[in-house]
Structure formats: structure tokens, C-alpha cells
Amino acid sequence: MNRVVVTGLGCITPIGNTIEDFRTSLFTSATGIAPFPPYPEAPGPTQGLRFTQTAAVKNFDPADHLASGIIAATDRTAHFAIVAARQAALLSGFLDHHAKDDIAIIVGCACAGRQSEETETIKLYGRDARVHPLTVTRTMASAGASHISIDLGITGPVLNISTACSSATHAIGQAFHMVRHGIVSAAITGGHEAPLTFGFLRAWDSMRVVSPTQCQPFAANRDGMTLGEGGAMFVIETLESAQARNATIYAEIVGFGMSADAHHITQPAPDGAASAMRKALKDANASPEDVTYINAHGTGTQANDATEAAAIHQLFGSLGSQIPISSTKSLHGHSIGATGAIEALATIIALHEQQLPANAGVTEVDPTLNLDVILNTPRQSEQKIALSNSLAFGGLNAVLALRHHLL
Amino acid sequence: MEDIAKHCIEIIAKAKSIPEDTITLDSTFDQLNVDSLDKINISFEVEEAFGIEIPDEALGSIKTVGDMVNGVQKLVAAKPSIPTP
């Protein structure tokens, strides 16, 4: 089996549209959560919403990056995908060293071209107007994956994975296994999502899981999640190919675990999350004692954070309260199909720099969770194995095990 | 005719993010780097702006901005007039 390493990083996120800006925000706890402007289609000043903030991508104009025809044929979500993938490919410099049909593209996107779908639906049902002839290409969930392929000329296996909030983590895990088993020699993988439409916000508001203020993972007074958008992409390849071309290695992916709760469409269960973490460690041939950081799913809802803590205690026993843990969602929000990739990016940067990001925006941790939540400032810490958890609605769990590349 | 030309040029300029004064009736779509996706998008915007439907067979024969303006003019002229009460 091949060892698999990360040699390229790219991102368009609410806390930075370059890796450098993302890193700065990550370690200074500069949140991307902010009030959103009124939606023109929304009735009344409150817009029928109990919350006023989201984590939106800022200062991103697709015309700075993409041809007009591509912009016309795509939704905002694909813009994030293409630009983040370009960044990762450029940073890695891997394209000249792998046959184009020996590279995979495996990305996560759950909400597809939501903005285009909603725009055209309003026109159609609201005033019987004609639908734009590029609506189909804009709303395909696989459009981001296809456009990365077209943009970079990659002709190997190309897939989009849709597993709600675990989409990107499932995608990275699948890409990891494909490279590890020699199905391809390299892959572009990650996730992208642009779901911040008025209809999407109203749908989540109706579930009463969105914070009226902002997401505070693991806080005693946590009151829900904050919705976000963005994308993060990685180049992964065999250790052998990375070393042969003297590439910079940001981290090694050593394990991947998946499970299903088989329990409830919205309520998580600890057994499923614990199983996915256990399988990731087994896949990594590692033990619970090797884990030095957990980047939590940590949505800031009562149910998720309590269940995730219970799963950690179930798997790690007495170590559960001693492993440093943080959720970075209070910085970049919850971007559904992309969030696992953005959190994997935070985890990879943490491993690379031996510095763990703080669980921003929280001053008092829920004592009943009994976790070592990193508060206020980043923590310097020699790292071995880090886990990045994604626990989706529907009980679909995916966990990556990553390792500092010099170990 | 002038109004139709002006409006068509505005639509093309917006779609391509280029200045209107770089577009003339003699400009070919190739010169303006209008690819197949741009052409679908621009044709739809023109149809919406003038309340017309460009026939499929005409789409393929439009090579210049002038071709588009002439075609739009004919389609606009052929539109049934709105009956007055």
C-alpha cells in the first residue's frame, strides 16, 4: 500500500480566500461570521428569520478568475471549487509529474447549485418566466467536480459525493483510499458549497437549530449553529511521488473511518461517531494514545456537541478528557458539504505548524462535556495523530486520521 | 434600429465584462471571444430583453453583432401588436 501525503492546499472561505489569509484568521480567531444584508425576495424587516448572521465568503468576484462563458454556465458553488482546486494544484506543482488519467477528482457537495435553482424557481413559479437555458449545468451537484476536470485537463476518475455535512470528509477519505491502493497516483479532493439562499436559511431556521447570535461550540450556553459557505481543496499523492519531485508535504493522511448511526434523521447517536473514529484509528494502525488533537464536528447545537463528547469518552475512556479539542466552526461557520474540507485544512495547518487553533468565541465550556477544549489562544503542541470529525444529519459519520509528515 | 443595436451591445458587454465601445456591428463573436456558453447566455438575455424567441436554426448562423441586431429587429417587427382596449 502507498503512503499518502498532502502536497497542495487551496481555499475560498469566510475567513480567507488564500491559504495565508485562512491561516492568519485561524490562529488569531478572526471570525468570518457577520450580519447578512437583506434578501430582496424576503418579506418584512425580520425576513421571517430568528437569526441575522451567516459566514459568507467575502471579496470574491468570479470574473477575477473565470471566463465569462464558464461563469454563465455555473453556480457560485462551482466557482469556489474551480478556484480552490487551481490554488491547490499551483501550490503543489503536481500536474507535470502525474499522467492526467492517473489523477482522480473526488469532491463533496451536498446542496448543488442552490442559488441558481432558487433564482430560476422564483422566476418560474412567481411570474411564469422562462428558465435560463444554462440552469441544468448550473444546478448539477457534480458540476464543481466536472469543472475542475475541464479546467485542469484531468481525465481520471471524477466523482461528487453527497452525504450532507460529511460530504467533503467522505470525499477526502475515498480519494485517500484510491491513492493508497494504487488506483490512481494522485487526486484533487475536498469540498465546496454555496447554500446561503433565502430559502435555505428559512429551511434551517424552521428546524430551530441555528443560533440567534453565533455558533459557540462546546459552550455552556451554546444555542445552535451558524450557516456558512466556501470550499477547500487538496492535492494528495503517494509519498514516493512527492519525495521524488521534492514537493513540500503538509501532512500525511493515515486513516479513514466511516459509519452510520442507523438511528434518526436528525438526532445523532454516540455509537456511530465512536465507531467512525475507532475505524479511522484502526485504518491508521494507531491507538487512542496516539491522538494529540481532535478537530471536532462541533456545530454548537446542544445535541451534536453532547453526542460528540459522549462518543469521544466512549472510545478514549479516561483519555477523552485530556485530548486537546477545538471546533473551528465559530470562525468559518457550517458550510454543509464543504465543512469537512475546511476543517481538514485547519487540521493539516495545525499539524504542519504544531499549533492547535482555539475554539473561538467561547469563554465557558459546558462542564458536563468533560473535554479539554482549547480556549482563547492557539496551543503549541507536539503532534502525532489528529482526527477530523464529520457527523452528518442522517447519521452518516466520516473521520480522517492525519499525521505530521515528519513522523 | 439604433436602440436595438445599443441594447444588444449593452447585453454583450455585460456578459463579457468588456467596455461597450470595444463592440461594433462588424465585430464577430470570435473576435469578442464569445464561446458557445456565452452565446447561449447572450441569446437568452436578448430574448428576455426584447420579448422574442430566436429560432434554433438562426442561432447557428449568427456570426457578428450586426447579424444579431438584424435578426432581433426582424423578430421585434414580427411581434403581434398588443391590442388596445
**Residue range A202-233, pLDDT digits in tens:** 999 999 999 999 999 999 999 999 999 999 99
Whole-angstrom distance, CA of residue A342 vs CA of residue A353 = 17
Instruction: Give the Å distances, CA to CA, from A222 to A139, A206, A334, A383.
Output: 34, 18, 15, 29
Catalytic residue among A79, A192, A297, A352: A297
Is A111 assigned a catalytic role? no
Contact A134 B36 (CB under 8 A): no
Q: pLDDT band at residue A41, thresholds of 50, 70 and 90? A: confident
Annotated active-site residue in A98, A332, A334, A405: A334
Distance from CA of B84 to the nearest CA of A (A): 23
* Architecture per CATH, A254-403: 3-Layer(aba) Sandwich (3.40)
CATH class of the region A4-244: alpha beta
User: Is beta strand A103-108 parallel, antiparallel or unpaired with respect to A158-161?
Assistant: parallel
State the nearest Cα–Cα gap between A138 and chain B, in angstroms.
Answer: 12
CB contact under 8 A, A132 and B44: yes
**Side chain identity at B8, as an amino acid letter?**
C
Contact state of A68 with B16 under an 8 Å Cβ cutoff = yes
Least confident piece of the model among A347-351, A379-383, B59-63: B59-63
Q: For residue A381, with 0-12 CB atoms within 10 Å meaning exposed, 13-18 middle and 19 or more buried, which class applies?
A: middle
| Residue A165 annotated in active site | yes
Percent of chain B with pLDDT over 70: 93
Distance from CA of B3 to the nearest CA of A (A): 24
**Three-state helix/strand/coil letters over A306-341:** HHHHHHHHHHHHHHHHCCEEECCHHHHCECHHHHHH
What's the CATH number for B2-77? 1.10.1200.10
Write the DSSP symbol of residue B85.
-
Cβ of B45 under 8 Å from any chain A Cβ?
Answer: no
pLDDT above 70 (res A407): no
- Measured between alpha carbons, how far is residue A405 from residues A5, A228, A350 in Å? 8, 30, 12
Kindly list the domain boundaries of chain B, sorted by start residue: 2-77
Cα distance from N-terminal residue to C-terminal residue, chain A: 18
- What's the pTM value of the predicted model, to 2 decimals? 0.95
Closest-CA residue of A relative to B14 is: A68
Does pLDDT of B85 surpass 70?
no
Residue whose C-alpha is closest to residue A225's, from A212, A236, A235: A212
Query: What does the alpha-carbon distance between residue A1 and residue A393 come to, in Å, rounded to a whole number?
Result: 33
What crossing angle do the helices spanning A143-152 and A76-92 adopt, rounded to 10°? 40
Pair A56, A197: CB distance under 8 Å: no
Instruction: Select the residue from B11, B12, B34, B38 to test the A interface by mutation, using most A Cβ atoms within 10 A.
Output: B38
Residues of B in contact with A133 (CB under 8 A): 40-41, 43-44
**Cβ within 8 Å of residue A225, ≥6 positions away:** A209, A210, A211, A215, A299, A300, A301, A329, A333, A334
Separation of alpha carbons A41 and A38, rounded Å: 9
Q: What is the ipTM of this complex?
A: 0.83
Domain boundaries, chain A: 4-244, 254-403
Which of B41, B47, B48 is closest, CB to CB, to A134? B41
* pLDDT for B1: 62
For residue A334, the cross-strand partners are A227
Per-residue pLDDT for A281 more than 90? yes
Query: In this structure, are residues A406 and A248 in contact, taking their beta carbons and an 8 Å threshold?
Result: no
Question: Which chain A residues are Cβ-neighbours of B36 within 8 angstroms?
Answer: 69
